[in-house]
Amino acid sequence: MEHAARELEQQLHNVKTLLTWKAPGRPFRKHTKEFYLTSLLIMLLIEIILFLFSEYALMAVVASLTFVAFALVTVPPHNFLLKISTEGIMIEDHFYLWQELYDFYFKNRDGVQVLHIRTRAFLPGELTMTLGTVTEEAVKKAMLPFLPFREYVKPTFLERSGAWLAKNFPLEKHPRHAS
């Protein structure tokens, strides 16, 4: 009897890796010169307006944010090691227990399938992982015993606003992939 109890306890505490893959940290696509030129013109227009109102500190913030945005869209992301186990999810060297996570869903961003996992805590709020060579079905099969899957998640106000801006005021002329 005692042996069976010890064996059951070992099975409960065994951490088993269900799925492992390497994928870029975020969706990435190269932008045209038109994108950079349009972005710079918008930034210059905002800078002129801020200069007219003598908002020099805000001018520095706008220039800094533009620099960061250009750096993010120019430099491709490095590959992350992603693991789904019986205990939770590991992204590189950070581990999230299943109890810390809420649910998951998939979205297509710039032609790349992205796994979104919402967290119970306010921060980070949501984990995003590109799938790389792994299929949606393999991820669903590994995660469904631990988290609920959402077919549809209502877009937030910011997501709807961003989609509207991208549709009506594109920074590049070629058609974007559906979000």
pLDDT digits (tens, 9 = 90+) for 34-79: 999 999 999 999 999 999 999 999 999 999 999 999 998 999 999 9
**Stronger pLDDT, 1 or 127, i.e. the higher one:** 127
Provide the number of structural domains found in the chain. Answer: 2
* 66 in the same domain as 98: no
CA distance to 47, 88, 89, 90, per residue, from 17 (Å): 51, 9, 10, 10
In this predicted structure, what is the pLDDT of residue 38?
94
CA distance 65 to 28: 19
Inside any domain, residue 155: yes
- Structural domain range at position 42: 33-75
* 47 in the same domain as 20: no
* 18 in the same domain as 85: yes
Query: What is the mean pLDDT of the segment spanning 105-125?
Result: 92
Inside any domain, residue 59: yes
Judged against a pLDDT cut of 70, whether residue 142 lies above it is answered with yes
The structure's pTM equals: 0.77
- Where are the alpha helices (H) located in the chain, listed in sequence order? 2-13, 33-52, 56-74, 136-143, 157-168
Judged against a pLDDT cut of 70, whether residue 178 lies above it is answered with no
